[in-house]
């Protein structure tokens, strides 16, 4: 029931489960014990999703081609000078990712 | 009847040659308009057709060199303007028109070619809404095909950073306009598709993006090779080629079409801030649901405790009360464990749990209305017109006079 905070959770499944928990909780047919258990599960899911969204840092990669062993050759992507000039303040922070 | 003396008798060939020479001399450069019919493409690459109007017709031939340069297909019924010359085809004795230029009438050649390509791809099912794939709602990895230096890539990366930093972004630079752009875009689509299929670089979506430009610049996205590459791509494709007026072939084949690269990102990604607000709302609803359950349970225990008949097994009620306190504590602790900027809000609310004040309920938008004697108004029949009633809200009270009171059917 308790999940490690850094486990990547699938938003689709987490939100679907939260929706179900809310409906069960709000229609008031569960026992008090169950309601609390659902609440705890719900909060754990919310916390996980929230943490992932809050801590997300974008990774931007340039696909240069294939490596010698046939894997995608991904390099850090740097913006060109012309773009830097256009938006000097905001660019740097975004591109580091 | 004898043949007169001294006449020159020509052979068929000689006569035909003479006619041919005359005709070619007199009709060396001719412009003519009419409707094409009986269009036949021979295996040699030459195109044969008849040009006609209501009263006459001319046999026409367009040799391979000219036919190949034509951007559109000549079709039966098409109104055309021709430039060419008249000649004679001796083996058949036919005179015919040799086409040197062919123009569609009333519409530009490029436009006609595009229209024909659209018709062809439509017939092949490329635009079928049924084959449009949904774009994953919470994409984990997206690829961008765009010029590495243009405004399109900058706009897309900025918006991605703002809305959905959760996703990994793979940039695949490509020419998107000018010579070779179509082949480049098609090749990059196929490359990404193959990596996805091999599971070495699984993708949720590919955006093909390009900043604004003229309709001519758009040409790469009207080429059949690009249409084929999108159609055969294993990953959903969003086309964002930046032209609001003309819908390109790529737009029609793509799973989703966006007017600008920024619009493509908006369409592709959820907004992180909105989602976080949504999660805070879910959290509040979870808590409210629980608080409500606890409140109901506590009321039941209180009612039981009030009844003399239940006073006797007092320890059972004490036990129930204790259990409620335990659960309230659990709720409190769970709420406190929540991270981030929700923490304080949650803890503050959790502290109010023990009080379970009806004011909390009022804060959610409900109100309590009483008559002058303090009895609660529960039904329309409880009040009479002209009577003064008071409504309790979390921050005070409203006094009002009943204008009318009539029952209405319950909705839902």
Instruction: Tell whether ipTM is more than 0.85.
Output: no
For residue range B184-220, what is the model confidence (pLDDT) as tens digits? 999 999 999 999 999 999 999 999 998 866 666 788 8
The predicted model gives A69-86 an average pLDDT of 69
| B169 closest CB neighbour out of A32, A60, A80 | A60
Query: Is there a single domain that holds both residue B56 and residue B96?
Result: yes
pLDDT value of residue B279: 93
Same domain flag for B202 and B176:
yes
Of A25, A30, A50, the CB nearest to B339: A50
Task: Name residues 64-93 of chain A within 8 A of B (Cβ).
Answer: 70-72, 74, 77, 79-80, 82-83, 86-87, 90-91
- Cα–Cα distances (Å) from A1 to A34, A40, B210, B328, in that order, read 13, 8, 46, 19
Q: Is A54 in Cβ contact with B340 (below 8 Å)?
A: yes
Q: Which of B77, B96, B112 is the last residue of a domain?
A: B112
DSSP state of B354: T
Report how many Cβ contacts below 8 Å link chain A to chain B: 146
Instruction: Choose one of B216, B242, B270: the last residue of a domain.
Output: B270
Q: Which helix (H) or strand (E) holds B369?
A: strand B368-370
Q: Identify the CATH number of the domain in which residue B92 sits.
A: 2.40.50.140
Provide the number of structural domains found in chain B. 4
- Is the residue at B161 inside a domain? yes
Tell me, yes or no, if B158 comes closer than 8 A to chain A by beta carbon: yes
Closest in A39, A53, A62 to B334, CB measured: A39
Strand pairing category for B57-62 and B256-257 = unpaired
Higher pLDDT pick, B190 / B378: B190
B262/B374 same-domain check: no
pLDDT of residue A5: 39
Claim to verify: residue B278 and residue B266 sit in the same structural domain: no
Q: Is the pTM of this model over 0.80?
A: no
B21 in the same domain as B107: yes
Would B120 be classed as within a structural domain? no
Same domain? For B161 and B245 the reply is yes
Select from B112, B146, B180 the last residue of a domain.
B112
Q: Which helix (H) or strand (E) holds B169?
A: strand B168-173
**DSSP per residue, B189-243:** HHHHHHHHHTTSS--SEEEEE-----TTGGGGGGSHHHHHHHHH-SS-EEEE-S-
Domain that holds residue B28: 12-112
Q: For residue B346, what pLDDT is reported?
A: 44
* Position B89 in a domain: yes
In terms of domains, do B292 and B263 share one?
A: no
> B353-375 pLDDT, tens per residue?
434 444 455 555 667 788 888 77
CB of B154 closer than 8 Å to CB of A83: yes
Query: Residue B219: which CATH number?
Result: 3.40.50.2300
Higher pLDDT, B117 or B322: B117
- Kindly state whether residues B107 and B193 are assigned to the same domain: no
CA distances from B362 to B190, B296, B369, B370, B374 (A): 60, 16, 11, 14, 18
Q: Radius of gyration over alpha carbons of chain A, in Å?
A: 21
Q: What pLDDT, on the 0 to 100 scale, is given for residue B245?
A: 67
Average pLDDT (B163-184) is 93
More confident residue, B395 or A8: B395
Same domain membership, residue B264 and residue B153: yes
Residue A62: the pLDDT is: 93
A67: left (phi over 0), alpha (psi -120 to 50) or beta: beta
Please indicate, yes or no, whether residues B71 and B155 belong to a single structural domain of this protein. Answer: no
Beta pairing class for B205-209 and B168-173? unpaired
Nearest CA in chain A to B154: A83
Domain contains B334: yes
* Helix B151-163 / helix A88-96 crossing angle, nearest 10 deg: 60
Residue B4: is it exposed, middle or buried by C-beta count within 10 angstroms (0-12/13-18/19+)? Answer: exposed
Please indicate, yes or no, whether residues B155 and B256 belong to a single structural domain of this protein: yes
More confident residue, B360 or B272: B272
Q: Which residues 11-30 in chain B show a CB within 8 A of chain A?
A: none
Query: Are the beta carbons of B292 and B349 closer than 8 angstroms?
Result: no
Residues B145 and B65 in one domain: no
Pairing outcome for strands B168-173 and A59-66: parallel
Task: Give domain status of residue B125, yes or no.
Answer: no
Task: Establish if B103 belongs to a structural domain.
Answer: yes
- Within a domain: residue B128? no
Inter-CA distances, B375 with B20, B325, B392, B404, Å = 115, 31, 13, 19
B165 domain-assigned: yes
Q: Select the residue of B195, B280, B339 nearest A51 (Cβ to Cβ).
A: B339
């Amino acid at each position: 029931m308790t999940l490690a905070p850094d486990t990547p959770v699938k938003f689709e499944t987490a939100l679907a489960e939260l929706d179900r928990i809310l409906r069960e909780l709000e229609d008031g047919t569960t026992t008090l014990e169950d309601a609390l258990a659902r609440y705890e599960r719900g909060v754990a899911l919310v916390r996980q999703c929230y943490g992932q969204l809050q801590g997300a840092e974008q990774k931007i990669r340039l696909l240069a081609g294939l490596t010698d062993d046939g894997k995608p050759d991904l390099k850090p992507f740097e913006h060109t000078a012309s773009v830097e000039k256009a938006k000097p303040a905001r660019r740097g922070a975004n591109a580091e990712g | 009847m004898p043949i007169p003396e001294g006449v020159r008798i020509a052979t068929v060939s000689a006569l035909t040659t003479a006619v041919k020479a005359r005709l070619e001399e007199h009709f060396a450069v001719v412009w003519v308009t009419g409707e094409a019919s009986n269009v036949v493409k021979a295996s040699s690459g030459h195109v044969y057709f008849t040009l006609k109007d209501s009263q006459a017709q001319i046999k026409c031939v367009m040799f391979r060199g000219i036919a190949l340069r034509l951007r559109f297909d000549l079709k039966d019924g098409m109104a055309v303007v021709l430039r060419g010359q008249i000649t004679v085809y001796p083996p058949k004795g036919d005179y015919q028109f040799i086409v040197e230029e062919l123009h569609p009438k009333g519409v530009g050649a490029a436009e006609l070619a595009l229209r024909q390509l659209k018709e062809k791809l439509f017939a092949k099912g490329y635009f079928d809404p049924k084959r449009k794939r949904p774009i994953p709602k919470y994409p984990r990895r997206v690829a961008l095909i765009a010029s590495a230096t243009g405004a399109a890539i900058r706009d897309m990366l900025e918006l991605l950073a703002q809305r959905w930093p959760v996703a990994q972004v793979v940039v695949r630079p490509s020419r998107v306009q000018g010579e070779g752009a179509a082949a480049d875009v098609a090749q990059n689509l196929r490359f990404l598709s193959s990596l996805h299929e091999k599971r070495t670089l699984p993708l949720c979506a590919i955006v093909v993006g390009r900043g604004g430009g003229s309709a001519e610049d758009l040409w790469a996205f009207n080429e059949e090779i690009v249409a084929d590459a999108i159609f055969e791509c294993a990953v959903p494709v969003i086309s964002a080629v930046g032209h609001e007026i003309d819908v390109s072939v790529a737009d029609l084949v793509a799973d989703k079409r966006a007017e600008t690269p920024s619009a493509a990102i908006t369409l592709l990604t959820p907004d992180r801030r909105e989602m976080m607000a949504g999660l805070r709302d879910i959290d509040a609803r979870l808590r409210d649901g629980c608080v409500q359950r606890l409140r109901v349970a506590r009321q039941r225990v209180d009612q039981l405790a009030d009844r003399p008949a239940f006073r006797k097994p007092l320890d059972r009620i004490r036990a129930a009360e204790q259990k409620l306190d335990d659960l309230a504590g659990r709720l409190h602790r769970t709420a406190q464990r929540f991270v981030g900027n929700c923490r304080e809000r949650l803890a503050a609310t959790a502290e109010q749990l023990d009080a379970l004040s009806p004011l909390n309920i009022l804060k959610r938008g409900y109100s309590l209305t009483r008559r002058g004697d303090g009895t609660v108004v529960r039904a329309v029949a409880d009040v009479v017109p002209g009577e003064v009633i008071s409504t309790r809200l979390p921050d005070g009270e409203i006094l009002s006079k009943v204008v009318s009171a009539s029952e209405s059917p319950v909705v839902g």
